[in-house]
Structure 1
């Protein structure tokens, strides 16, 4: 599914957090924008390379999301592969370095201006920008309720370097602790029978239905900065919700 063009999904903290649910929601948004569900006689494989960040990438939430995308017929097989910590890096690390470099010569007064910095950070094959709305962040517990039978205690999601899910064996996840294709798969029964009522991505309920308040201390710090901003930018910070 690789296109060679990086996609940057943007939001700020009153819309959503930055954990496993948010990363999985961004993945689903990308898939919705770029792929259609398969016909019965079609096949398509998803391969995701991830780092070992447990809070975002290496967890049951993202694993369930990959399986959900297969059951929703966007893919016939999903693979999540992990780098060896401390010995490898992802292409996105180079992309982030370009953004950091561009940031040093840019002025940003409100979060919505970051998209211009990111768009200009790479001249050849510019980054694709997706501005996430709050309704794009889904309640992924709904996926777990539909699919997950049990979190198989023998499947250690942080110990494997490669996990695979296929529509041909919809009850199981296959795992390897190596990238060596000669190494046998370990089979783990995890899921229930596919549900006919499985919701499509756009049918999943939102994770949040109102803006997330920031702390009073952060709001106070931002308001102390406001007098130094041009009037056109002040309203954004003045209107931010804060914890009572």
Structure 2
């Protein structure tokens, strides 16, 4: 008998090993890891990465003894290991950025007594219900993608931000001790065509909040879609993860309402994946970029080198890259004031929020993707909303000047400029705040203790003439 949590049925165990076939070969405490992100096979399952054969044998022995009493002995570790190798089972790779709820439930599962079968079943049922909810979201994303492939009247898009891109990224040992300059890359992907548009900026030009994300959505839609003619229809399904600061907020919701009132779409739905289970099509393209940077051992001496990495990561079909400055980011406060948030609309409670062009005065929400009927949220003075009320809105720049780099970070970056060319130093001098003449970047104590600085670099003044 094999617990479902073991992942893969062991069909190769020999008949003469009745001790292993008569009891759980895989103790029911082991969670399973999905294999889709490890080897490209979504059907393959893996045992928990925290486990090993010795630990599994110990739990197997406990279960065997509890079931068989004193009539027989469990198989020894060497036999257990041999049978394990014959099954083809594998341990999963350690995961990062995992689901909080899954981690808590699996921790409870690991800590619960093997004899508490009722408690184990209850936790397993909770895990299954949580995974079922996540699976529903993924299945709806696949359905939306197929609908977009089948009809030009349906558009499915996803948005996501790549992990922070740091620079300068060089081989010098001193670089290990230094705080780096941050750059950001956001992808808006069309899963129907498997094409992503990349938007790149640095920390002096913008942050990572709703202003930036809303600007990119507005820019993408208004540059790629024309307003519909009378009688035409077009539906937008816009997918993201549930980060309140970036995506799951009213500023994006009111922007989607704006698109329906302006006639870009007849229906727009913001749809969110389940928290912790938010692998989007954008992430595959981010993985291509990160793999290219890793295996090409790319040295990132100035922030714009990241744009070269992005462009070269898919030479057969290069990403479209747009570099933004602080002046490009827009303030949508005038839109939020015109279309105030309904008191009943708690944005983070819903997985689907929809606006219709023929119902401009309301939002329709669903708390889950499988829900049939949605709740209606009337907008205050929503009856006055029409194309004429929004067509003349002007969205001003959100930022009037660039952001300053924190002095500690600026000092760390300056200390690495001696490894760069004159042209690269000039780029950094434009990004970093001016340095008072009397200051020089001091080496970190831990760098000195680790001999990361040579005696010459600490004594010879010419090393810092570029400042």
Q: TM-score, normalised by structure 1?
A: 0.90
- State whether residues 118 and 127 of structure 1, in contact with CA within 8 Å, keep that contact through their aligned partners in structure 2: yes
Aligned length: 240
Aligned to 1:139, which of 331, 344, 347? 331
TM-fit CA distance, 1:180: 1.9
- The reply to whether residue 187 of structure 1 matches residue 379 of structure 2 is no
- The reply to whether residue 111 of structure 1 matches residue 303 of structure 2 is yes
- State whether residues 52 and 83 of structure 1, in contact with CA within 8 Å, keep that contact through their aligned partners in structure 2: yes
The equivalent of 2:92 in structure 1 is: none
- The reply to whether residue 63 of structure 1 matches residue 233 of structure 2 is no
TM-fit CA distance, 1:243: 9.6
Pick closer, same or farther for the CA change 1:18–1:199 going to 2, 3 Å. Answer: farther
- Where 2:431 maps in the other structure, the secondary structure is coil
Pick closer, same or farther for the CA change 1:217–1:123 going to 2, 3 Å. Answer: same
- The reply to whether residue 228 of structure 1 matches residue 419 of structure 2 is yes
5+ long unaligned stretches in structure 2: 1-154, 156-189, 436-467
State the 4+ residue runs in structure 1 displaced beyond 3 angstroms: 241-244
Q: Provide, for residues 123-144 of structure 1, a one-character-per-residue CA deviation record: whole Å limited to 9, x for no partner.
A: 4433221222333210111211
Distance 1:243 1:102 in 2: 34
Q: Describe how 1:8-47 pairs up with structure 2 within 5 A.
A: 8-47=198-237
Which structure has more relative contact order (CA 8 Å, sep 6+)? It is: 1
Q: Provide, for residues 145-187 of structure 1, a one-character-per-residue CA deviation record: whole Å limited to 9, x for no partner.
A: 2222xx3332221111111001111011100011126x21100
Query: CA RMSD for the aligned pairs?
Result: 2.1
Pick closer, same or farther for the CA change 1:73–1:6 going to 2, 3 Å. Answer: same
- Where 2:238 maps in the other structure, the secondary structure is strand
Q: TM-score, normalised by structure 2?
A: 0.49
**Larger C-alpha radius of gyration, 1 or 2?**
2
Q: Provide, for residues 30-74 of structure 1, a one-character-per-residue CA deviation record: whole Å limited to 9, x for no partner.
A: 112211222233222111111011111111111111111222222
5+ long unaligned stretches in structure 1: none
Pick closer, same or farther for the CA change 1:145–1:186 going to 2, 3 Å. Answer: same
Distance 1:26 1:36 in 2: 17
Q: Provide, for residues 74-114 of structure 1, a one-character-per-residue CA deviation record: whole Å limited to 9, x for no partner.
A: 21211011112234521111111111111222222222222
Q: Structure 1 stretch 64-73 or stretch 8-17: which is displaced more?
A: 64-73
- State whether residues 213 and 243 of structure 1, in contact with CA within 8 Å, keep that contact through their aligned partners in structure 2: no
